[in-house]
Amino acid sequence: MSVILLVGSSAREHAIARAIRKSPQTSSICCFASANNPGIQSIATSYEVGNINDPNEVVRFGMQCGAKLAVIGPEAPLENGVSDALWNSGIPCVGPKKALARIETSKGFTRRLLETSSITVNPAFKAFENIDGAEEYLQQLGDSYVVKYDGLMGGKGVKVAGEHLHSHNEALEYCSQLVKSGGGFLIEEKLLGVEFSLMSFCDGKTIVHAPPVQDHKRAFVGDTGPNTGGMGSYSGPNLSLPFLSESDIREAQEINSRTIEALSRECGQPYLGILYGGFIATANDIRLIEYNARFGDPEALNILTLLESDFLVLCEAIISGTLGNIDLTFSTAATVCKYAVPNGYPDSPVQGKKIDISNVRDLDLISYGAVNQLDDEIFITGSRSLAVTAAAASLAEAEFIVEEELSRIGGPLFHREDIGTPALIESYVIKLNNLRCKNVSQ
């Protein structure tokens, strides 16, 4: 029996654990986690809570379990060299090494890599280590700018002009806060368009692309409110999204492929794992918002729901350089995923309150996030509590299933009712069509 080490404790890792369990290959899961997760704990044969960012601790646990392969879910362990340590200890790992993970952990590194590699997907940008010159660059961009922390902030380090920042003074104050916290920042041109995600699997030689997904970062209905780690996501039928053309998808795939090649050249080592491109379809082309060096959360829940191939075979192909020898297939169904989060999330979420899932009809649709189980009762712990994901022939059917199950969950939770609905999706189609029609007419 092969033992798989899973690192992480979010709903994404619950979905990964399920995908491993589905494999016809006999395997057991040992999970090293930052918190309890009752969903993963019900699957794993061994579960330990510890510091997932400490390479020595992760290696100790993996060796203790006799792990033959590791899968890292979150980004912080990658930044801290956990993948490097596992490989050095004889445990192959799905997840890039520290130098390669800079594609996510340093936005400045990524922008410069794309620029020097002639991958023309950047907005206008400038990286700063201190506040000097920031005011002048803001004046150059006018009211069309974005300020980004140059590091990891759980998807919450980006502030957009006109949405979070309403003057150059507010922008400079935010820049000062970032510098005081010990980090640099980027100021970028604000791009207009519709965002989507595309994840690609790589074994160092072969690159295979997953279907595109649209994530929703904003906390509230209508894409309003503060940024979050992601309130939900959807994928359209036939491996596409309603607002994208086939050429848009091919362009995003080509960008991911060229980026992996450039990154591997820059670092002098192969990229083994998942590259997640956060893109925006603009009036003219596809541009890059950001890169992540792992499965998206919640997008992983959509992709793993669609994956028809054996996930464990996929992982083994990534670490052995044999991805080109397997036929990776995805269902043509539509998927919708929505997170239920505590009232007050993300700024002041309630904690310690009980939620009731006793009326849920299909528990396999639920992926647990920031919850704890005590005496068969589930309690929220402050961040995204659980996700409900469903697949169906159409987006409308999948969205209906998700809403039905969410309505059966009791407790101080809320979710984005509009994710995956015809009205919201149509608004994206109209927005992009208008941008592109206007561009043609000019």
- Final residue belonging to a domain, choices 189, 214, 231: 189
Q: Residue 182: is its pLDDT beyond 80?
A: yes
Instruction: List pLDDT tens digits, range 208-251.
Output: 999 999 999 999 999 999 889 999 999 999 999 999 999 999 99
| Co-location of 181 and 85 in the same domain | no
| Co-location of 249 and 366 in the same domain | yes
Domain contains 253: yes
Q: Residue 1: is its pLDDT beyond 90?
A: no
- Final residue belonging to a domain, choices 97, 132, 152: 97
Percent of the chain predicted with pLDDT > 90: 92
Domain contains 432: no
The pTM for the full model equals 0.96
**AA identity, residue 343:** N
The residue-averaged pLDDT of 85-112 equals 97
Choose the weakest-confidence range: 177-181, 291-295, 405-409. Answer: 177-181
| Co-location of 408 and 302 in the same domain | yes
Instruction: List pLDDT tens digits, range 284-343.
Output: 999 999 999 999 999 999 999 999 999 999 999 999 999 999 999 999 999 999 999 999
Instruction: List pLDDT tens digits, range 139-149.
Output: 999 999 999 99
Domain contains 320: yes
Residue 152 confidence (pLDDT): 83
Strand ranges for 141-284 from DSSP E? 145-149, 158-160, 185-189, 194-203, 207-209, 214-220, 224-235, 272-281
Domain contains 171: yes
User: CA nearest 41: which of 374, 394, 404, 387?
Assistant: 374
| Co-location of 87 and 140 in the same domain | no
Domain contains 384: yes
Domain contains 433: no
| Co-location of 253 and 305 in the same domain | yes
- Final residue belonging to a domain, choices 161, 189, 217: 189
Q: Tell me the backbone φ, ψ of residue 60, rounded to 5 degrees.
A: -55, -50
* Residue 438 confidence class, pLDDT cut points 50, 70, 90: confident
| Co-location of 150 and 230 in the same domain | no
In this structure, what CATH number is given to the domain that contains residue 35? 3.40.50.20
The residue-averaged pLDDT of 29-43 equals 98
In this structure, what CATH number is given to the domain that contains residue 172? 3.30.1490.20
* Residue 389 confidence class, pLDDT cut points 50, 70, 90: very high
Q: Is the peptide bond before 211 cis (omega within 30 degrees of 0)?
A: no
Give the count of domains, the chain. 3
**What size, in residues, is the chain?**
442
Q: Residue 441: is its pLDDT beyond 80?
A: no
Q: Residue 6: is its pLDDT beyond 70?
A: yes
Q: Which residues contact 359 (CB under 8 A, 6 or more apart)?
A: 408, 409, 410
Average pLDDT, the chain: 96
The answer to whether 96 and 271 have CB atoms below 8 angstroms apart is yes
| Co-location of 266 and 408 in the same domain | yes
Q: How many beta carbons lie within 10 A of that of residue 116, not counting itself?
A: 10
Instruction: List pLDDT tens digits, range 100-129.
Output: 999 999 999 999 999 999 999 999 999 999
| Co-location of 262 and 308 in the same domain | yes
Number of H helices, E strands in the chain: 14, 22
Residue 442 confidence (pLDDT): 60
Domain contains 106: no
Structural domain containing residue 128 = 124-189
Domain contains 61: yes
Rounded to whole angstroms, what are the CA distances from 198 to 205, 235, 247? 19, 11, 14
